[in-house]
Amino acid sequence: MDAARKLAERESGKQPFLGVTKSARGFEWRERLGGHGRAIASAISQRHALPELLGRVLAGRNVGIDNVEVFLEPSLKALMPDPSELRDTDRAAARLADAIGSGEKVAVFGDYDVDGACSSALMARFLQHHGLQPHVYIPDRLFEGYGPNAKAIEQLIKDGASLIVTVDCGTTSYEPLAHAKRLGAEVIVIDHHQADEILPDVHSVINPNRQDDVSGQGHLCAAGVVFLTLVAVARELRRRGHYVDGHTEHSLMGDLDLVALATVCDVVPLEGLNRAYVTKGLQVMRQRHNIGLRALFDAAGLDQAPSPYHLGFILGPRINAGGRIGDSGLGARLLSQANPLEAQKIAETLDRLNRERKAIETETLEQAMAEAALRVDAEPDLPIIVLGAEDWHKGIVGLVASRLTDRFQRPSCVLSLTKDGATGAVSGTGSLRSVAGVDIGGAVRAAVAQGLLVKGGGHAMAAGLTVEQEKLEDLKAFLAAELSVSTRDARAAAALEVDGALTPSAANQELITLLDRAGPYGQGNPQPQFVFPAHRVRFAKVVGDAHIRATIEASDGSRVDAIAFRAAGQPLGDLLLEANGGMPLHICGTLRRDTWGGRNRIELTIQDAADPRKQS
C-alpha cells in the first residue's frame, strides 16, 4: 500500500477493519463509515428517532438526512416521474393507443433473459387486456443471438404485424429495424441499454440511456421503462375516452411483481424509482396472483414470502434457463400465462432445465477457472480475462464470466467459439462482466466503432459481443489497452466494506427486522456486512454445488449457522475447511432470515474470511 493511500485512509477514518489487509479473497477490509459518515449516522438517528445501527446503515449508503423518510418508505407516488419526461414516450403512447383502438396486429420482440421475459409479458398482458392478441417473439440465443434480426422481423410482418414493439433490445439494431421500415411496418423501441448518438430510424425510441434523454432514469431496467410507457398509454386511452363505453383499465399495479423480478435479476441499482418498484412489487408477488409466477414458486419449492434473494437466486435462474439451454420463449410465456395447467407444465420444464444448466456450468467453470488462474499468475496486472472454447455452451458463458470476475476481481469475457459448416469460418459469441468503476459496455461499443466486432453492446457492468476469430487477438489487445487504467484503479480501490462487528447472540430476529427497514438490498444498496471477530469454525463441509456449510462459534459458546456459496476449491473455502475444528478466523458475511421448510432461523452467508495471525 502506497503512502498516498495510507494518508487518504487516515483522513477518511477508514483504517483496515481488525487490521485485515489481505483476506482469503484478497481484499482489504474497511469500515464503511469514516469520521464524517459516523457524524451523519448520529444525526440521522437523532433527527428521525432511529436506532443507532439503522442510522449507520443508512449513512453508509449515502442516504441524506432529509431523504430518510422516502428511503425507508419508498413509494411510486413520491418516486415515479411523469412518463413524458422520457424522450418519445408520448409519441409511442399515442401510437400504441391507436393500435388498441383499431385492433391492429402487434408483435412484441423481446430478449431471452429475465428482464426481456418480464418486459415482454408486461406488454403482452396489457395489450391482451385491451383486446389484442400480440405475437410475442423471443429469439433463440444459440441460433439467432441477441436482438432483432432481419429474418425474424420479416416473418413477423408476413404474419400480419404492422407494429413491432421491441423490449429490452433494439437500440443498436439499425439494419434489422430499417428492414422493418422498408417492409412497411412501424417499430417502437423500448430499451435501457447504452446508446450511440445515432438511433435506429423507427417510429420512436424510449430509452433513458439515449444520449439526448435528460429524465435521469438511466438506472431503470427495461421492464421499468416498459411500465412507465404503459402508464403513459393508459393515460392516453383515458384522455381519448376509451374506458367510458364499458372498457376497463388494466391493473398496472398488479403487474409490479414482474417489474420487481426484472429489476433484481438485471442487477440495476436499487435507488430511486427502482426501490419503489421492488418494494411494491414484492408486496404484489406475495399475493401470488400471477399464475406463471405461482407455478414457478411451487416448482422451486418456495414456500415463504419472496425476498430479493429468492428473486435473484431462485426464480431468476429458472426463468433464464429456458434461454440458456432450452426454448428461449418459455419465460415470457410463463409470465403471461392465463392457464394454470400450462403454467405448471412450463414451470416444471424450467426447473428441469435449470438443473441441467447447473451441470453444464460446473464442467465449463472448472476449465475456465484453471485457465484463468494460469493467465493471472503469469500476468498479475492483466486488465481483462478473455477465454473461449468451441465446446463451451453459448447459454452459460455469461454465468462463467460472472464467476471469473468475482474470483479474480477484474473484467472477464467468455466466448463460445463456433465453426460455420459452410465456410469453415470461426466466430465467437461472448458475454462480459465487469467490476465497479470499469465500463465494459463503453469498451465494447468502442470496439464496434473500431470494426473489431460483428456486433456488441450492453451496460457498464455487463455486455455481449460477437467477434470473428481472425480479429480475436486484436480485440484482446484493444480491450486490454482500453481498460488497463480503469481496471488498475478499480483493483487498487477494491475493498470489502464492513458495517460493524457482531457475535452470534446479537444475530437475532430483532436485528433482521431492523435491517429490513433499510431494504430492499441489492446493486447500489448493498446488504449490511458484519464481521464475527476471531470466531471458531465448526462442522465445515462441502455440500451441494461446491458450497461450504459450517457453524460459527463465539468464545461464549453462542453459534450461528453459516454457508459460503461456491467456495469449495477456492481460497475462501480452503481456509474455512483448514480452520475446521477450532482455529479462530475473522468471518465476514451478511445475515438473512431462513424459514425454508417451516424452519425459522438466522443464517450467515459468508462473503470472506481472514486469518488473524496473518494480518498487519
Indicate whether 443 pLDDT > 70: yes
Indicate whether 2 pLDDT > 60: no
Least confident of 20-34, 185-199, 590-604: 590-604
DSSP per residue, 102-113? HT--EEEE--SS
Are residue 161 and residue 120 in the same domain, yes or no?
A: yes
What is the C-alpha separation between 216 and 81, in angstroms, rounded?
9
Are residue 255 and residue 403 in the same domain, yes or no?
A: no
Are residue 324 and residue 390 in the same domain, yes or no?
A: no
Q: What is the rounded average pLDDT of the residues 150-177?
A: 97
What is the C-alpha separation between 320 and 270, in angstroms, rounded?
21
Are residue 193 and residue 317 in the same domain, yes or no?
A: yes
> With a threshold of 0.85, does the pTM exceed it?
yes
Are residue 99 and residue 23 in the same domain, yes or no?
A: no
Are residue 133 and residue 281 in the same domain, yes or no?
A: yes
* Mean predicted lDDT score pLDDT of the chain: 93
Q: What is the CATH number of the domain that holds 446?
A: 3.10.310.30
Least Cα distance to 122 among 5, 234, 207 occurs for: 234
How many C-beta atoms surround the C-beta of residue 342 within 10 A?
Answer: 15
pLDDT at 15: 82
Q: What is the rounded average pLDDT of the residues 350-364?
A: 93
Least Cα distance to 582 among 608, 609, 552, 610 occurs for: 552
Range of the domain at 511: 3-33+499-614
Indicate whether 589 pLDDT > 70: yes
For residue 598, what pLDDT band results from cuts at 50, 70 and 90?
Answer: low
DSSP state of 16: B
Q: What is the rounded average pLDDT of the residues 409-418?
A: 95
Look at residue 19 and tell me if it is in a domain: yes
pLDDT at 492: 86
What is the C-alpha separation between 410 and 538, in angstroms, rounded?
32
Query: Which grid cell is 229?
Result: 410507457
Look at residue 371 and tell me if it is in a domain: no
How many C-beta atoms surround the C-beta of residue 15 within 10 A?
Answer: 15
For residue 3, what pLDDT band results from cuts at 50, 70 and 90?
Answer: very low
pLDDT at 616: 63
Look at residue 57 and tell me if it is in a domain: no
pLDDT at 127: 98
Preceding omega of 520 cis (within 30 degrees of 0): yes
Q: What is the CATH number of the domain that holds 558?
A: 2.40.50.140
Sign of the dihedral defined by the CA atoms of residues 497, 501, 506, 507, in that order: positive
pLDDT at 5: 45
Last residue of one domain, picked from the residues 459, 493, 527: 493
Q: What percent of the chain has pLDDT over 90?
A: 85
DSSP per residue, 480-537? HHHHHHHHHHHHHH-EEEE-EE--GGG-SHHHHHHHHTT---BTTBPPP-EEEEEEEE
Indicate whether 211 pLDDT > 60: yes
What is the total count of domains within the chain? 3
Q: What is the pLDDT of residues 37-78, one digit of tens each?
A: 999 999 999 999 999 999 999 999 999 999 999 999 999 999
Q: What is the CATH number of the domain that holds 213?
A: 3.90.1640.30
Indicate whether 568 pLDDT > 70: yes
Indicate whether 299 pLDDT > 60: yes
Are residue 432 and residue 402 in the same domain, yes or no?
A: yes
Indicate whether 222 pLDDT > 70: yes
Indicate whether 599 pLDDT > 90: no
Q: What is the pLDDT of residues 521-539, one digit of tens each?
A: 998 899 999 999 999 999 9
Phi-psi region of 26 (alpha: psi -120 to 50; beta: other; left: phi over 0): left
